[in-house]
Amino acid sequence: MKIGIEGQRLFRKKKHGMDFVALELIKSLQKIDAENEYVIFVRPDQDNGCLAETDNFRIVEIKGFSYPDWEQFALPTAAKKAGVDLLHCTGNTAPYNCPIPLLLTLHDIIYLENSFLFNGQSALYQRLGNLYRRLLVPQIVKKTRLIVTVSEYEKGQIMSGLNLPHAAVEVVYNGVGDHFKPVKKEEMIEDIRKKYNLPDKFIFYLGNTDPKKNLRGVVKAFCIYLKNAPEKIPLVIADYNEEKLAALLKEFECQEFAAFFHILDYIKNSDLSIIYSSCELFLYPSLRESFGIPILEAMACGAPVITSKTSSMPEVAGDAAVLVDPANPEEMASAILNCMSNMSSCEKKIAKGLERVHHFSWQETAKKYLSIYQNLV
């Protein structure tokens, strides 16, 4: 069989969650399947060395004016020309009029939920992207052979939100990359510390400007922690900027703590394992997630994790993380204080986390997708 896989954003320099899921899936399929043919459809961009062709994996670069133009017009045309038997769209959306049978990975339907996730905190590009998905996804799911999502929690959301039967949605868990493991080499840690100007001791928060990542709640909770902590350990925040942080600290009347917040720009995925390994604690108290790969990445690197007791996060973290109410900054602050003052409890969570990650592998993810491809074709 010949399988087409959509990877529009695989070659972009600053990749995020769904991009890495598609990339790890394809690389794992290359390891386990030398029999079937694959055509990977990508948009030309800077990081074209992140994926290589093999004997049965061909990369086709397709140009497009915009994300919708590429997906709705260029992709189905290229898929038909390539003669694929099935087109797997990996990032929540797919062509509305496609001559090829469709498999859709629907990571989440957060953009269909009427909640605080769609207030004015979202950036313009995020609101436009959500509008595109809100209009398209309810129509696309009627045209797909099967929908795959990433957690049992999200399957329930999709079934109820889109009025779909149980058999229309299958769950395939994400994995955690092999390069996420404890890093002990001091010279490697020191190089990354200098590269990102990291403090000697720090707590790490990996999020972005999407309101679901709960940056406001994290900053408020951390201010409460700083007011009560006998030893004030700084917080490193990735993918944010100083001006927005200053505005939040002013709103919360915590300007005196500004020196305890260290803002970083985009962090290369290959550097994350060292930062996870170096941090005292990893914070991931999102308001809503369909999976939460950073939870597993941090666990795999030996970091204690505080995450949320909502949506999919308990399903992913199990009993290997401290679970908190993400809408309760006082509870988050208390959890941080407890972890920093009670290292024995942290060490128990670390041991459980290192064991927990063995339940999630990209090779297992690829095996399940291969079985799905075979059944559909």
Q: Could you tell me if residue 181 is inside a domain?
A: no
Shared-domain flag, residues 351 and 260: yes
Are residues 153 and 213 located together in one domain of the fold? Answer: no
Report the pLDDT averaged over residues 188-204.
94
Domain assignment of residue 238, yes or no: yes
Contact 310, 326 (CB under 8 A): yes
Whether residues 355 and 366 fall in one domain: no
Average pLDDT, the chain: 93
Other CB atoms within 10 Å distance of the CB of residue 38? 22
Q: Answer whether residue 118 shows pLDDT above 70.
A: no
Q: How many domains does the chain have?
A: 2
Is 54 inside any structural domain?
A: yes
218 and 351 within one domain? yes
Q: How far apart are CA 252 and CA 47, in angstroms?
A: 40
Q: Report if residue 354 sits inside a domain.
A: yes
pLDDT for 125 equals: 61
338 plus 281 within the same structural domain: yes
Q: Do 171 and 294 lie in a common domain?
A: no
- The predicted structure's pLDDT at residue 117: 46
For residue 342, what pLDDT is reported?
A: 83
Query: Do 82 and 198 reside in the same domain of the chain?
Result: no
Same domain, 339 and 372: no
What number is the average pLDDT over the span 70-81? 97
Q: What is the pLDDT of residue 116?
A: 42
Q: What is the pLDDT of residue 166?
A: 96
Which residues sit opposite 322 in a β-bridge?
A: 306
- Note whether residue 180 is domain-resident: no
Quickly state the pLDDT bin for 336 (edges 50, 70, 90). very high
Query: What's the rounded mean pLDDT across residues 228-235?
Result: 94
Residues 203 and 96 in one domain: no
Per-residue pLDDT tens for 83-116? 999 999 999 999 999 999 999 999 999 988 865 4
Higher pLDDT, 334 or 269: 334
Q: Are residues 119 and 203 in the same domain?
A: no
Q: Phi first, then psi: give them for residue 305, nearest 5 degrees.
A: -125, 135
CATH number of the CATH domain containing 365: 3.40.50.2000
Q: How far apart are CA 292 and CA 275, in angstroms?
A: 18
Q: Which domain holds residue 112?
A: 2-175+361-376
Do 234 and 353 share a domain, yes or no? yes
Which pLDDT band, with edges at 50, 70 and 90, does 179 fall under? very high
Q: What is the pLDDT of residues 31-74, one digit of tens each?
A: 999 999 999 999 999 999 999 999 999 999 999 889 899 999 99
Summarised one tens digit per residue, pLDDT across range 281-293 is 999 999 999 999 9
Q: Are residues 167 and 199 in the same domain?
A: no
Asked if 51 and 59 count as a contact pair (C-beta separation under 8 A), the reply is: yes
